[in-house]
Amino acid sequence: MAVDYTVIVVYLAGMLAMGWWGMRRAKSKSEFLVAGRRLGPWMYSGTMAAIVLGGASTIGGVGLGYQYGLSGAWMVFTIGLGLLALSVFFSARIARLKVYTVSEMLDLRYGGRAGVISGVVMWAYTLMLAVTSTIAYATIFDVLFDLHRTVAIIIGGSIVVAYSTLGGMWSITLTDMVQFVVKTIGVLLLLLPIAVVKAGGFSEMKAKLPTEYFDPLGIGGETIFTYVLIYTFGMLIGQDIWQRVFTARSDKVARYGGTVAGTYCLVYAIAGAVIGTAAKVMYPKLPSADAAFATIVKDELPMGVRGLVLAAALAAVMSTSSGALIACATVANNDIWSRLRGVVAPKEADEAHDEVKGNRVFILVMGVGVIAIAIALNDVVQALTVAYNLLVAGLLVPILGGLLWRRGTAAGALAAVAAGGLSVIGLMWWYGILANEPVYYGLLTSLAVYVVVSLATRPTDAAVLAAWRERLAGRGAEEPEPEAPVAV
């Protein structure tokens, strides 16, 4: 295992080095939070694919393949569909807004009254996403070094917090590019063909497994529909995803680069399901489906390759964790704390306020909090389900309604956030956290309330809508400081 350990240690050291390099570039708020809005198509595609394909997509995707066969690809597949929908239909408009958070977009669209409550909901979602990603370090470091769960979380979480705090989005973008390459080589080019060969090829897999393992809909229509609601729609509105859209150099980069990333996700989804299906042939009685990835890596891969594939799993977790962390800190600082600071201490000395330092402090504080919660929390699935249910039921309708329906009002948006969020919490208590019904009925409640309240209240001020249209057209926003463009 010495070679494998060396691969992992070099990889982790490289992540910290990227953080240090990124610190030298992040000299302004725009550079720190959205990489100066200067990413070209290659870097944009890589970083977008990295953020959406995390530990759940890699370890969990293989686990679903082990449990359900090829239809286990649907979870990650719906993530790819969501990214494609975002890129084709919405990303160009989102990029032209030149904002930093989803709540800022809501304030622009509805006249400055919808952002606070939506910020709290988005903060809770990004916090739990960061926590659940951080917990995944325990699984990987246990396979690598046989470390105690708490120690593994502290080591993995500290590395992500360090490079994210140092360089912000520049560091995260650079590390994501490395992670994207490592995942592509480790999972698609190495683990996938090796797993299929070790399982005896597709003919042997078909001979040894039930026919439902090769049914594209074997996982069940209701499960697929729930994945679409949670993950496809979740991709359309998550702060962690939008913050990557804000990094695009132009609306064309956002559209076409995101389309490439979404297509990559579809390939990654199928690869994970095939690897899991192969693992079912080789290890038919594993105690847990989620153990399939670690087992096949540990037992079937040669030395050195094993280290690279485990680095790929680590890369998947780190990319999602760092993206969720900077999103969580950005929302906490820009949507919650800055508003409270404005109320408690109105802008007397804002000129002297160091925005980069402030955002850096928030990432550090949120990162320490994420590590602490990850150590204390045991049920990852329930925590992530609560986060996605709140996000979709509370924010999907006001966000898409603001983009698509001119008659939507601030009162309708606020009522939809409150009704959707409260109803989904009550329904999770009634049906159970992991039930499908809460997100169904919560989303319907949010939609009904949004339409009724919007129609019953005064239309949004014409001046607000005019300013909104100007921003959608790419006019009326402050441009980032002029610097040499990033051409990759």
**For 448-458, how does the pLDDT look when each residue is reduced to its tens digit (9 = 90+)?**
999 999 999 99
pLDDT at 83 over 90: yes
Same domain? For 143 and 58 the reply is yes
Q: 253 near 39, Cβ under 8 Å?
A: yes
The residue with tokens 């049906």 is 431
Is 133 a member of any domain? Answer: yes
Is 487 a member of any domain? Answer: no
pLDDT at 329 over 60: yes
pLDDT-derived band at 350, boundaries 50, 70, 90: very low
- Nearest to 97, CA basis, from 85, 88, 106: 106
For 192, the enclosing helix (H) or strand (E) is: helix 192-198
Q: Mean pLDDT highest for which of 179-183, 215-219, 356-360, 387-391? A: 215-219
pLDDT at 441: 94
pLDDT at 364: 94
Same domain? For 253 and 399 the reply is no
**Span 403-429, average pLDDT:** 92
Same domain? For 373 and 399 the reply is no
pLDDT at 46: 92
Same domain? For 142 and 90 the reply is yes
pLDDT at 4 over 80: no
pLDDT at 209 over 60: yes
Q: If you ran DSSP here, which 8-state letter would residue 265 be given?
A: H
Same domain? For 261 and 400 the reply is no
pLDDT at 482: 43
pLDDT-derived band at 472, boundaries 50, 70, 90: confident
Domain count along the chain: 2
Is 341 a member of any domain? Answer: no
pLDDT at 417: 92
Phi (first) and psi of residue 24, to 5 degrees: -70, -20
Share of the chain above pLDDT 70, in %: 92
pLDDT-derived band at 199, boundaries 50, 70, 90: very high
- The residue among 378, 408, 443 that closes a domain is 378
- Nearest to 217, CA basis, from 70, 79, 80: 70
pLDDT-derived band at 275, boundaries 50, 70, 90: very high
pLDDT at 380: 64
pLDDT-derived band at 438, boundaries 50, 70, 90: very high
Q: Which residue has the higher pLDDT, 101 or 140?
A: 101
- Nearest to 405, CA basis, from 462, 463, 451: 451
Measured on CA atoms in the order 97, 447, 241, 50, is the torsion positive or negative?
Answer: negative
Same domain? For 42 and 117 the reply is yes
Share of the chain above pLDDT 90, in %: 44
Q: Mean pLDDT highest for which of 62-66, 92-96, 290-294, 478-482? A: 62-66
Same domain? For 183 and 113 the reply is yes
pLDDT at 480: 46
What distance in Å separates the CA atoms of residue 390 and residue 398, rounded to the nearest whole number? 13
pLDDT-derived band at 359, boundaries 50, 70, 90: confident
Of the listed ranges 186-200, 343-357, 404-418, 419-433, the least confidently predicted one is 343-357
Is 343 a member of any domain? Answer: no
The pair of structure tokens assigned to 243 is 């913050």
Domain of 4, in residue numbers: 1-335+357-378
What distance in Å separates the CA atoms of residue 330 and residue 33, rounded to the nearest whole number? 7
Q: Which residue has the higher pLDDT, 162 or 481?
A: 162
pLDDT at 356: 82
**Span 203-208, average pLDDT:** 92
Same domain? For 367 and 405 the reply is no
The residues with which 39 forms a beta bridge, in sequence order, are 248
pLDDT at 23 over 80: no
What distance in Å separates the CA atoms of residue 335 and residue 256, rounded to the nearest whole number? 29
Mean pLDDT of the chain, nearest integer: 86
Same domain? For 294 and 430 the reply is no
Is 301 a member of any domain? Answer: yes
pLDDT at 32 over 60: yes
Is 71 a member of any domain? Answer: yes
Phi (first) and psi of residue 372, to 5 degrees: -65, -45
pLDDT at 430 over 70: yes
Same domain? For 321 and 412 the reply is no
pTM of the model: 0.86
Is 350 a member of any domain? Answer: no
pLDDT at 379: 63
**Span 306-330, average pLDDT:** 85
pLDDT at 485 over 80: no
N- to C-terminal Cα separation, the chain? 36
**Span 115-132, average pLDDT:** 85
Same domain? For 366 and 384 the reply is no
**Span 25-50, average pLDDT:** 88
**CA angle, corner 96, sides to 94 and 101, nearest 5?**
50
Same domain? For 180 and 295 the reply is yes
**Span 441-447, average pLDDT:** 95
pLDDT at 17: 84
Return the half-sphere exposure (C-beta side, CA atoms, 13 A cut-off) of residue 381. 6
pLDDT-derived band at 351, boundaries 50, 70, 90: very low
Is 346 a member of any domain? Answer: no
Q: Which residue has the higher pLDDT, 276 or 387?
A: 276
Task: List the CATH number of the domain containing 369.
Answer: 1.20.1730.10
